[in-house]
Chain A
Amino acid sequence: MSGERHILDSLGSGLLVLDAQNRVEFVNRTLAEMLHMVPEDWVGRPAGEFLAVMARFALPVALPRFDWPEIFGSRDIEWRDGESLRYFREDSAPLSTGAGGAAGGRVFAYHDVSHEKAVDRMKSEFISVASHELRTPMTSIKGSVDLILSGFAGETSPEMQELLEIAQKSCDRLVRLVNDILDLSKIEAGQLKLNLERLDVTEIAVRAVCAVKPLADKAEVRLRVDRPQPLPLVDADPDRIEQAITNLLSNAVKFSPPKSQVSVELSADGEWVQCAVCDQGVGIAEKDLHRIFGKFQQLSEGRRRGGTGLGLAITRGLIDEHRGSIWVESRVGEGTRFIFRLPITAPHSPSTAALAGQVAKP
């Protein structure tokens, strides 16, 4: 290591290497300066002592669990030094011998991401403010059109009525779009706050079915909930899970022919509660399945039916936040099943869930 020391000391990022015995093998100059220490003093000392020094600056404590030798990790930490607050991204990886075998040690790199964090925050704030500002003119337009259509301001001709209904429908769509953009920006910025409760997904599914029933009645689509056995409870945010199921149900109804059925099928195994929303609609071509959860990736039929193109991206984001998984199965002409699973074991706090989402196997 000493041969490369001057190269590693020149890096703008902090670097720490722990050996297989969980002792400090190397600290570069950048990290040492961040910690106000002399790097050479630390070689060979236990990681725990190093951790204690780091804990004075870093939140959460800057070392991930040492018993994840096979996993690459990445997470963001706050770094406080007196009055100064910066953000670092800590990437860690198992230390390789270079010959393909693992040495059992681990390497940590600390990159300053304060600027990226500031830009992210500005983006979120902009979206939040823009969404509020857009609501004011939308309120006037929607309110005025609704009042004229009600007949309050006098009679309207059938042509005027038709044109005003177009304006009304478009305004409603604009409102949905603004709501969806706001939701998605919160999810993407990791700012979605989950209010976790111990709950039975059946109750949430029934609530979602009630919410979608007027739409289903209009489309002459039957809704039903199938639950063969009582479900174990999960820790989840009831409003957010209802939003996810409502999104899936609204989609299913939109793509269903009259007189068909949309069902919510609930089941569980030892680890998961599963919720499948199944329709007998037109189905999705295999070539389109891979992009179905993307932003603004709606198929032309969806756009025609007034969708925002963000519903499934939001739904996936909501399920991911719960440490669940979501996927789709479909056959053209037979129908589509959107399936999500939530873990039966209690999820950790949302921040831990977010951390778990950032950790990927090599």
Chain B
Amino acid sequence: MKLTRVLVVEDDADIQKVIRMSLKMRGVAEIVLVDTGADCLERLKGFTPDVILLDVMMPHLDGYETCRRLKQNPATRDIPIVFLTARVQKADRERGLKLGALGYLTKPFDPMTLHDQILALFPEASSRKGEKGTGAEK
């Protein structure tokens, strides 16, 4: 499997750049960056990425709420979501995964392995999808 299109939802411009370079280095062709949860919902109209990298702490619409809305919408619910967040506590992780995310990665991340860490989440997701038919619930 190869990641070709990634939507990055991150409100910190510097971290956006690091994520973009990290994915570009590993050959991801299309990396779309948005700053907010609302922009994420908007950008997904007519655009289906291989995965959404989603920050949690963002103003107005946080990552959890964005994820919840994406999973409720039939048009977006099958797009895998991977949280990439500074919220490292167990309860935060459990909350993210309960919302149907494929994975939960924490900051600071290693830009050299970010791409592989995201890819590594996929085999489990596909088997779960087969079982439940609703995407990558954990």
Contacts and interface: CB of A to CB of B under 8 A. Distances in A.
A300 B96 CA distance: 41
Interface stretch (A34-42, A131-139, A206-214): A131-139
A140 interface: yes
Contacts of A146: 110-112
B22 A143 contact: yes
Contacts of B86: 131-133, 135-136, 139
Contacts of B91: 193
Contacts of B112: 146-147, 150
B88 A152 contact: no
B14 A140 contact: yes
A136 B109 CA distance: 11
Interface in B93-117: 107-112
Q: Which of A136, A175, A193 has the most CB of B within 10 A?
A: A136
Given A150-B25, A152-B25, A140 B18 contact: yes
A132 B57 contact: yes
B3 interface: no
B90 interface: yes
A152 B87 CA distance: 28
A139 B90 CA distance: 20
Interface residues of B, number: 21
B108 A175 contact: yes
Interface string A187-225: 000000100000000000000000000000000000000
B25 A135 contact: no
A150 B18 CA distance: 13
Contacts of B108: 135, 138-139, 142-143, 171, 175
Interface of B: 12, 14-15, 18-19, 21-22, 25, 57, 86-91, 107-112
6 contacts: A135-B86, A138-B107, A139-B12, A139-B15, A139-B108, A182-B88
Interface of A: 128, 131-133, 135-136, 138-140, 142-144, 146-147, 150, 152, 171, 175, 179, 182, 186, 193
Given A136-B86, A139-B86, A143-B111, 17 more contacts: A132-B87, A133-B86, A135-B88, A136-B12, A139-B12, A139-B107, A140-B12, A140-B18, A143-B15, A144-B18, A147-B22, A147-B25, A147-B112, A150-B112, A152-B21, A182-B89, A186-B89
Q: What 3 pairs across the A-B complex have the smallest Cβ distances?
A: A143-B18, A135-B86, A140-B14
